[in-house]
Amino acid sequence: MREEWRTRRDILAELADAHERIATLQACLDERTAEMVELSKRCERLTAAVEAFVAWLDREEAGGEGQPWREMRGTPEGDASWREWYSENLRLCDLAQTLGRAALEQP
């Protein structure tokens, strides 16, 4: 009978040890999960910055190809269309820089 109790005590000690190891692993997993969430957020910020940069670069490289102002330059409508196109380019350029700097500054 004493042998049987010792075995039960050993089993309980092993279970307590296993529980402690599981708790340690869970804490480590929680820490890694938090790190992964932060990395995911940073990737999202970097992706947004790159997408804004590509949108600006595409417009800049196209040079207004196919835009109505290219045919109507020198008219009030053409100049207004050009200003709209140019303002959007400036907005995208500023957005790309702002998002890029913010993404690089944040850990």
Which residues touch 82 (CB under 8 Å, ≥6 apart)?
64, 67, 69, 73
Asked if pLDDT for residue 70 goes beyond 80, the answer is no
Residue 76 in tokens? 């009030």
Give 94 or 107, the one with higher predicted confidence. Answer: 94
Asked if pLDDT for residue 91 goes beyond 60, the answer is yes
Asked if pLDDT for residue 30 goes beyond 70, the answer is yes
- Angstrom distances, CA of residue 32 to CA of 11, 28, 71, 104: 31, 6, 57, 21
Asked if pLDDT for residue 48 goes beyond 80, the answer is yes
The predicted structure's pLDDT at residue 3? 60
Asked if pLDDT for residue 5 goes beyond 90, the answer is no
